């Protein structure tokens, strides 16, 4: 697969891999996504806007240059912006591959990090030289202003030009809580959502603080995804219960939606409205309780996103999908191409009336 290098959310040549009911892989323009949804589907997306979560600065006691990437928090409350989990790098920026970035100077509790107008104190180190708990000084308003003035989007070397904040906000972005964009949502625009409603496809949202996709360190990457807070609105919880009662398919736009809904179901036995913190890692041994199908990016084997897709597919089918993505040169990462896959149970006894669904309905196993 090829890393997408241009920050275009909806390029005209974007592609979609779909699995039909017989297990055949179909390649179509991504703009045809709605044609592969059933009229009875409930589609759920993550409406999180992306924080400017990368900060250049220096380690006060040594003067060493650093970059801090915010990676986690305990809630999504607007005034809860003092404490964060963060990944800290040594000197450099996104032009250097993350895995080639140097370690920061040795960090200990009490160290101060000067990040433009913001001062952050290391409250604890978290069993890795790059991972710390930080506390920002100042009022919530002052911290928000500092984030806006000095922060920039988290970025990786596969995109060579600096990202603007609007590059990483999905069209449905609401509150700024994500550390990286919930990029599966780039497939959406208001025309797509209107087309869903015209066809009787129900649409709802949650808010989930999408975290970092890479830390540049193999040991630390093995811990991804970190704990991520989420909010499920009352109307979304009602829509999910109604869809389950009517045996309609629930389609998640992105891995963050899967993680939030499945965590909520584990906590309560069903999806209820309210706040939570997703702490689980979803993979091939996970029994999905809520989500029947997923619209996701094309992810590389070994990543936490790829592991989550294995909850939908058996290993043989996952290899077939991965081989097809490689053979067809699909683009990966946040501005890349898209797949639509589902569990086989999502189609048992259900009527799909769209013409394209009959031609290539997402299957799976």
Question: Are the C-beta atoms of residues 107 and 133 closer than 8 Å to each other?
Answer: no
CA 53 to chain CA centroid, Å, is: 15
CA-based nearest residue to 255, from 168, 158, 341: 341
Go through 263-296 and write b for each residue having 16 or more CB atoms within 10 A of its CB, e for each that does not: bbbbeeeebeeeebbbeeebeeebebebbbbbbb
| pLDDT confidence of residue 40 | 95
- The residue behind tokens 């506390």 is 135
| pLDDT of amino acid 2 | 87
205 SS3 class: strand
CA–CA distance, 25 with 318 (Å, rounded to integer): 11
DSSP codes of every residue in 113-144: EEETTEEEEEEEE-SSTTEEEEEE-S-HHHHH
Instruction: Give the strand pairing for 83-89 and 65-72.
Output: antiparallel
Could you identify the residue written with the tokens 């996701």? 296
Distance, CA of 1 to chain centre: 19
Averaged over successive runs of 10 residues, the pLDDT of the chain (365 residues) comes to 91 91 87 96 98 98 98 94 97 95 97 98 96 97 96 97 96 97 96 96 98 94 95 98 96 97 90 95 94 94 91 93 95 96 59 36 27
156, 214 contact by CB (below 8 A): yes
**Cβ 254 vs Cβ 296: under 8 Å:** yes
3-class SS of residue 287: coil
What pLDDT does 343 receive? 83
DSSP 54: E
Q: Which domains does the chain have, with CATH numbers?
A: 2-49+162-359 (3.40.1780.10), 54-150 (2.40.10)
Q: Is 225 exposed, middle or buried (0-12, 13-18, 19+ CB in 10 A)?
A: buried
Among candidate residues 285, 279, 278, the one with its CA nearest the CA of residue 312: 285
């Amino acid at each position: 697969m090829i890393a997408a290098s241009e920050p275009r959310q909806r390029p005209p040549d974007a592609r979609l891999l779909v699995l039909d009911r017989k297990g055949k892989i179909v390649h179509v323009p991504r703009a045809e996504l709605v044609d592969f949804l059933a009229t009875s589907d409930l589609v759920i997306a993550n409406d999180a806007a992306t924080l400017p979560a990368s900060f250049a600065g220096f380690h006060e006691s040594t003067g060493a240059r650093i970059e801090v990437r915010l990676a986690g928090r305990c809630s999504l409350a607007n005034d809860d912006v003092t404490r964060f989990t963060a990944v800290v790098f040594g000197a450099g920026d996104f032009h250097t591959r993350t895995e080639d970035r140097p370690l920061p100077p040795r960090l200990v509790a009490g160290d101060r990090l000067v990040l433009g107008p913001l001062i952050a104190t290391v409250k604890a180190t978290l069993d890795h030289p790059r991972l710390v708990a930080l506390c920002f000084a100042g009022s919530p308003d002052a911290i928000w202003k500092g984030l806006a003035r000095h922060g920039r989007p988290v970025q990786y070397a596969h995109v060579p030009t600096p990202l603007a904040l609007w590059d990483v906000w999905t069209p449905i972005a609401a509150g700024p809580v994500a550390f990286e964009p919930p990029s599966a949502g780039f497939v959406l625009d208001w025309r797509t959502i209107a087309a869903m409603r015209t066809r009787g496809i129900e649409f709802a949202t949650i808010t989930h603080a999408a975290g970092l996709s890479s830390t540049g360190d193999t040991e630390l990457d093995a811990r991804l995804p970190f704990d991520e807070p989420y909010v499920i609105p009352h109307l979304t919880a009602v829509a999910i219960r109604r869809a389950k009662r009517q045996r309609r398919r629930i389609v998640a736009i992105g891995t963050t939606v899967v993680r939030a809904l499945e965590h909520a179901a584990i906590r309560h036995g069903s999806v209820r409205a309210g706040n939570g913190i997703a702490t689980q890692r979803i993979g091939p041994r996970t029994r999905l309780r809520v989500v029947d199908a997923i619209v996701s990016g094309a992810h590389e084997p070994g990543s936490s996103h790829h592991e989550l897709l294995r909850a939908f597919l058996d290993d043989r089918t996952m290899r077939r999908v991965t081989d097809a993505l490689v053979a067809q040169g699909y683009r990966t990462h946040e501005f890349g191409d898209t797949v639509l896959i589902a569990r086989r149970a999502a189609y048992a006894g259900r009527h799909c009336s769209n013409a394209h669904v009959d031609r290539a309905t997402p299957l799976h196993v």
